[in-house]
Amino acid sequence: MPSATRPRAGGPAPARPDRDLSRPLPASLSWTVLVLFVGALAIAIAASELPWWLAAWYAAVSVVAFAVYGADKAAARRAAPRVSERTLLALGLVGGWPGALVAQQVFRHKTRKRTFRRAFWATVVCNVVALGLLIAWLAGGPALLGAGYSGMLQ
């Protein structure tokens, strides 16, 4: 007779009430956000508002993030030491979120834990806002963002 605390081979793992799980967001949402971002980045670079190396940075960090998510999923399956969520989120924050988004869908990893998903999407928003500020600064110079206005000090 199988133990109630141990999952049967091939069967689902027993429910853990301490887990913060929810239904994954629709995959179409992730793919749509990714396509819109890549398109907007390509347009911004083509319009010469952004240096070419910015796209290279996003691509390079995305490849690293994809690989790290894949390694973490493999470690999770083997019950081996895992990559910290803080590391995964930091990779997304510095520009690897497109690769992390693809990895989440390909590996079906980190798509159900509610607290991680919220933190992940917060890093995406922070990164995109920072990129938007960079684009605005490059397009209009520091004065566009108020850095050149000293009238408030007089």
Q: How far is CA 60 from the centre of its chain?
A: 14
Q: Give which of 62, 125, 127 is closest to 93, Cα–Cα.
A: 127
Section 119-139 average pLDDT = 90
Contact 88, 69 (CB under 8 A): yes
pLDDT band at 11 (very low <50, low <70, confident <90, very high): very low
How much is the pTM?
A: 0.74
Section 96-112 average pLDDT = 91
Section 114-118 average pLDDT = 89
Section 117-140 average pLDDT = 89
DSSP 5: S
Tokens of 82: 């895992």
pLDDT band at 144 (very low <50, low <70, confident <90, very high): low
| Per-residue model confidence (pLDDT) at position 128 | 94
